[in-house]
Structure formats: C-alpha cells, structure tokens
Structure 1
Amino acid sequence: MGLLVNDLSVHGQFADLGSFAEAIERLMVIRQISLRFGRTLHCHRSLAHARVTATMTMPQAIQALAFEKRRAFMLWLTQHGPFWEDSRKHGPDDWIECNGSIVTDSAVGEAAWCCLNGIKQSLVSLTPSSWEFSPVPVDWVSNTGDKKSTGVVNHWTPAAIEAALQAEPAPLISWSQLDALAIARCTRLTFAADAFAPLNGLPFVSGAAQRLLFVLETLNRFKSCFDVAGQRTPEGHEIYHDFFTGKKEEGGRGALFSDSSDEEKSKFRSEMTFQHPADNTMSLFCSWHGKVQTPQLRVHFSWPIRADEPVYVVYVGPKITKQ
C-alpha cells in the first residue's frame, strides 16, 4: 500500500498557528509509523507553498514550529520527499473528480488513478480539515463520457494508519518475490519456466511490481469467465470492455491489454516468438501483452483466450518493441 499526503487537506482552514502545529506533529508521527512498516509517505512539492490560515502560507506558518521540527518538516517537503509527482501515473488531461470538483493534479487524483489501475494507494489527510472521511469517492471520466469510480481509503490519525499497516501484507521487495507470488495466486495461467527471467538485473520498482501483479491477476480472472458452454460470462464481457478495449485518445493511456501493431509484428516477430511452455518442439507467437508504463514493462501471453485452452504467460520484462 502506497501513502500520499492529501495536499487538498491543507486549504487555509487552520484557525490559529497552534492547531496547525498540532496537525503537523500528527503528520510527522504518521510518517514515522509508515517508515517503521517499510512504507514511505509521499508528498508533493507544492505543499511547501500551501495556504495554511486565512492570511498565512506554509513558509510563514512553519515558523510556529520548534527549530528542529521545522527543519525536519521542510527538508521532507522541499528536498528529501519522496515526491509522488516524480513518478506520477495520471496525466494532466485526465478528467478526475471528487464530489463534483476536479481533483486532477492532486494526490486525490493520483491515488484514484492508481487504485483504478491496480496500484494500491491510500491518502493521508491533515486534521482538522474538510477531508475527514473515508473512503473518498472519485470518478475518472473519459472523453466519451464513460465513467469509472473508486473509493480511496483515507487516514487522518496515527492510530488509524498504524492499524491499517498492521493489517497489510509485507510489501514486495524483489522481482523473485513477485515471481513466486504471481504463480501462487494466478493458478489459471500457465507460466513458462523462464517467464520472469527478463526482469533479472533490472532495478526493482515496488509500484511496477504491484502493477505487474494486477495485470496478471486480471488476466487470471478473465480466464475464469466462461460458462459451461464455453461462452464468455457477463463478468468476462465487463473485463474485456474495461481492460482490452479503448484507444489512447479516449483515455490518454489506452487499454491495459492490447495487440502489437502490424509494424511491430513484422519488425519484432522473432523477439515475440517464444518456445512453447508445454512442447519444446513448438513455438508461440505472442504479440498480445499487458502493460506497465513506468518503467515500460510488458506481459506477453497467448491469444485468443478460450475456455478449453491454457493461457500461456511467456514473457514478463522490459518492453520488447521499444524503439
């Protein structure tokens, strides 16, 4: 679970510097709790310039803190981070709203986009504020008017964040751990023995590992969506619509799963041809793939997906068709 400071929860609401100082103290305690559980609390650099009271901005109000606390807080906001905008997932043209207000470019928008795309993110809001509720209802709206909704978990007290982190499984820390977990969970998929080998040597990125797991779990769920006659179920049609269709201009990033272009199939045919996992005398051409954007990773698998045929996952690694 990732944690993002809700920048919208600093909106000039503090009645005095005393209540502001108490809120910052709680936030720093939450940050320490997060670190204790192996998590990092991400902020946005703009928070260092937010309006704190009706008349004071963050640089002015921060003077109410004791020197060491002021220094630690500002180093976090201005230098150390980590800053979620450095690995931002949602685009500036994404239409994301919460209770009728646009939240694109905010932590709320980022957390919602991640939750909708298989990356578990939660918010940490300051208190007192107008954001003391959970989950936070957020809608992503496409250019064609299609809407996807999610509820982002929101925390504002140290006790709540500690309880949530205690209930969370330990974060993924390596590609080999992802390999083992994916195979254990995705029992409807047939993995090539060396499917995860292309990840070896790449710097481990926790968010990318979580996204890859979501891609594989979605593919695994899709494989189960057939009735006794071998026809796709209503859930299968929904998964296909949500994750296998959609053009880039309609949502900014395209479908989670797609086929390679004709040009890519021609240019990279040998790279997308793999030894058959069940018969080493045969090969499989696997141009269909699931996507992770940051960094650019791909999951190549056999297609089409049918009720009575295995789904072979043959490649998990860097984008093959990268020019």
Structure 2
Amino acid sequence: MVRRKVTGGTAERPLFTDILGDLIEINEIFLTLRSEGGEVRVPIDEVHRAKTVPARTTRRAAEIAALELAAARAWPAPVSERLGDWWLRSAEGFTGRANSALPVGDPGLPLPAALDAVAEFYRGLGRTPLIDVPQPLAQPVADAALKAGWLPDCTVLVQSTALDALIAATPDGAACTLHDGPSDDELALIAGSRGPLPPAALHVLTAVDRLTFARYAEEGRLLARGRGTVTDGWLGLYGIETVPSARRRGLAQSVIGRLARWGAQQGAERAFLQVESSNETAIALYARLGFATHHRYTRLALAA
C-alpha cells in the first residue's frame, strides 16, 4: 500500500490518497503499482509512506512461481546452488538471467540473512550480486533488498500467449531450418557486442532436454535466428534476432512461427518470452503476435 500526497491540501493539513496494489517496478524517479483499476505510476517525491500488506496465497502466485521455474530450467546456469528454495546461478557473466539469484519460495533463513548469503555467494565468484525478483510474488524480498541497499538494475516483462493463438498469428516459417545446436555463425551473432563468449555460454544455450535452434539464411548467410525450449509444458522463446540489414522483412515472425510449430509438436500448450521493459520495438512486435505481460521481475544489484 502506498500513501500518496495529492494537491489541494496545505502545509498544515496535507491531503493523501491510498493506493493498494502490487509493486511491479521501482527506480529513483517513480514506482509503479498494479491496482484493481490498472497500473498506477507514482513519482517518488509524492510517496508519503508505503507498507507491505500481507499477500494472499493465490492461484496467480502459483502460476508466477511455476513459470519462473520453467524459465529457469530453459536457461540453465552451469553453477546452480540452492539456498532453501531459492536458486543461486552463475555462468561466467553470460547474461543477467544466468548470473542472478531467483527468490522463489522459502530461503530457509530470515530475509536479511538470505540476502547476505546471496551477496556472499556472488562476491565469492568475483561477480556483482544480482537478484531477479518476480513481482508481485516476491514483494517482501524486494522490500528487504531495497532496505539493505540493493538498487534496481532493470525491469523485465515475462510475456505469454496460448500456443495455438501464436501459431495462428505467425507464418509457418517453412524457409527456416531447425538444428539441435547453435552453429558458429549463430554463436557469433549471439556474441555481438559482448565479445568472446565464455565456455559457460554453451551450457546455458544447450543444456536442455527439449531444445531447438531455428535459423533463416540466404546464400549461406545467416539473417535471423531464435532458440526454442520446452520445459514444464511451456515453449520458451529466446534470442529472437534479425541482422540489421534484413530487418522489416518479417523474418523474426517466421522464426517465431517455426519455433511455435515445433513447440506444439513437443506437446507445449503455451509460449513465453522475456523482454526488457525498455525494448519498445520488441514489445510492439510481440503484442502484434498476441503476447501479453504475465508478470514482471525487477533485477536488483548490490554495489561493492
């Protein structure tokens, strides 16, 4: 619950309004709540006070937890340790997802001690401590982390759609080919501005039982790619990418369409993907294909 200052009061008698909802994003400028009336963005300087209201155990909470775990299995870190129910993941710095803690469930410790254990784990590896906090599922974790000095790094939308609807919205991608592993040119495209990929990257990309890589090439030149996984009945879409010179040709839709049909053959019924909230171009594309935000997570970082 957030108590917000509103106009119309005086210095002696300020006016406030209460907003009850799930905290889905916070930074130095504003916070965003999902209330019954929709999302509400509140400037930080208008927040009088805020408090945590005990959350109900709901079907939605269970759905968020299940999808987060399916996504974690689809992007597996070679180093993955448990802190109670939490996952501590490391992959030599290859992607934030594979190098962050996932606080789903009970860590078996009071939250301040659990956060200290997360920080110790990553600092022991020479990495910046990161934690991906699903909202609103792990709101108490976010509250404790922010109080302890962790800072927001980015917000990621976890989006989903029914697989049959995705198939209906995409071309069949017949010109795309499927492969069990990434080719050298795909790895080069994945590396992009990252520089050389660490050895752990190949584990993250390939250590999934049901997995495929889709590619579209012309005259032997790779123009578009994507990775598909099936975990816990979900088709996960990763790394949908088109080279700059081939954009605006619908190649990303073709890759997604090819992966969607593969996922259906593997028994998946729904599809998900993850996209940073700042990537407006990708979000617009996925919206046209029927994706909607299932939930969000905020990545928090603890500076040295």
TM-score range, shorter chain: 0.3 to 0.5
Higher-helix-fraction structure: 1
**TM-score, normalization by structure 1:** 0.32
Between structure 1 and structure 2, the one with the greater Rg is 1
Higher-strand-fraction structure: 2
